[in-house]
Amino acid sequence: MTDINGVRILEFSQLGDARGHLVVAEGGRDIPFNIKRVFYIYGSDQNVVRGKHANRKTEFVLINVAGTSKIKVKDGEGNEAVYHLDRPHIGIYLPTMVWKDMYDFSSDSVLLVLASEHYDADEYIRSYDDFIKEIRNAMQ
């Protein structure tokens, strides 16, 4: 799979026992940043595409704690990769300045998102053209 600017799959410790499953993801340890914000996405139809943005400041880890979804990541230089989130102990790390689409949600999908920053609408790039321009400017 194409390497997209440090995007990577994370595998968390599974501490389950006879009583059931328990997965741990500690900020600054399993998660490569300190967690300032948590949100979760559920009830999205299978034909919905969410995300469609890049972030100038925020890093994310996405975990399908229930159900499944796919994440398409683009680096703005022509490379893209698709990751399948299909197990509760697997996450995907997304650094800043990658374009991301979340799609193909199963009906039981609960996509947990851990973020390194508080919400700031101004650090979101929601136009793909603007994203490409910022990537090109950064390379000059």
Task: Find tokens 């995007």 and name the residue.
Answer: 7
Nearer to ligand TYD among residue 17 and residue 129 (C-beta): 129
Residue of 41, 85, 92, 135 interacting with ligand TYD (CB under 6 A): 41
Count, residues in the chain: 140
Strands of the chain, DSSP E? 8-11, 13-14, 23-24, 37-42, 50-55, 60-66, 69-74, 80-85, 90-94, 99-103, 110-115, 124-125
Residue of 21, 39, 43, 108 interacting with ligand TYD (CB under 6 A): 39
Task: Note whether 50 binds ligand TYD by CB under 6 A.
Answer: yes
Catalytic residue among 21, 53, 84, 118: 53
Q: Is 52 left (phi over 0), alpha (psi -120 to 50) or beta?
A: left
| C-beta separation of 98 from 73 below 8 A | yes
Question: What is the closest distance, in whole angstroms, from the C-beta atom of residue 111 to ligand TYD in the complex?
Answer: 8
- Between the alpha carbon of residue 136 and those of residues 5, 64, 92, 93, the distances in Å are 15, 32, 25, 23
Question: What is the closest distance, in whole angstroms, from the C-beta atom of residue 87 to ligand TYD in the complex?
Answer: 21
Contact letters for ligand TYD, residues 51-80 (x by CB under 6 A): x-----------------------------
Interacting span for ligand TYD (CB under 6 A) from 14-22, 33-41, 71-79, 91-99: 33-41
Interacting span for ligand TYD (CB under 6 A) from 36-44, 76-84, 87-95, 131-139: 36-44
Catalytic center residues: 53
